[in-house]
Amino acid sequence: MKKFLISFLFLVIISCDQIEFVYDDNGNLENPLYERTEVTVYGIDTAYVNSYLPVFFGVNKNNEYRLAINIDEEKTKLSVEKNQAVSNIRYKIKFFYSLFSTEKNCLTFEKQILSRFTVIPKSSGYDFGSDTSLEQNYENAINQNLNNFVSLLGTVDINDCL
């Protein structure tokens, strides 16, 4: 029995020697702006943006870059009831990212990323469920947008001026 167990373990170890891990390349996992960037947000003021910035960019220790994020929001009423109550609202949040190198004193990266979501209000007055849903949609859109921006940074050289 002992020989069988040792033989089995040996075969398992040998058969697993060619396994390649998905995240073997750490280049896409790193944020090149983390703890190196002063971030300024303009446009609509949402508490979620300011709460997520330290998660994505850390505390600025080296003043190598300045990131300006301008946020614009559009609300579109998709359907209106007979009594003029809105039954469907589409939100479009545009993030305009401008990355400046403080060492080279130039613009190194610029990108606009769009986030969308739809809200269906449940009543014409105050409704806790609708407000919570709207806040959750804002939070998800901001988180997704910042993730997309950080992912894009891995595909460009932020050290070259535009």
The yes-or-no verdict on residue 100 having pLDDT over 90 is yes
Is 110 a domain residue? yes
Residue 126 maps to which CATH number?
Answer: 3.30.160.150
Is 130 a domain residue? yes
Q: Say how far apart CA 64 and CA 149 lie, in whole Å.
A: 18
Q: Say how far apart CA 87 and CA 78 lie, in whole Å.
A: 8
Is 109 a domain residue? yes
Residue 145 contacts residue 101 (beta carbons within 8 Å): no
Q: What is the DSSP letter of 26?
A: G
Residue 78 contacts residue 108 (beta carbons within 8 Å): no
Is 2 a domain residue? no
Is 144 a domain residue? yes
The yes-or-no verdict on residue 19 having pLDDT over 70 is no
> Which residues constitute the domain of residue 113?
29-153
Q: Say how far apart CA 140 and CA 145 lie, in whole Å.
A: 8
- Looking at the structure of the chain, the number of domains it has is 1
Is 111 a domain residue? yes
The yes-or-no verdict on residue 13 having pLDDT over 80 is no
Is 158 a domain residue? no
The yes-or-no verdict on residue 126 having pLDDT over 60 is no
Q: Give the confidence band of 55 by pLDDT, cuts at 50, 70, 90.
A: confident
Q: Say how far apart CA 11 and CA 52 lie, in whole Å.
A: 47
Q: Give the confidence band of 28 by pLDDT, cuts at 50, 70, 90.
A: very low
Is 91 a domain residue? yes
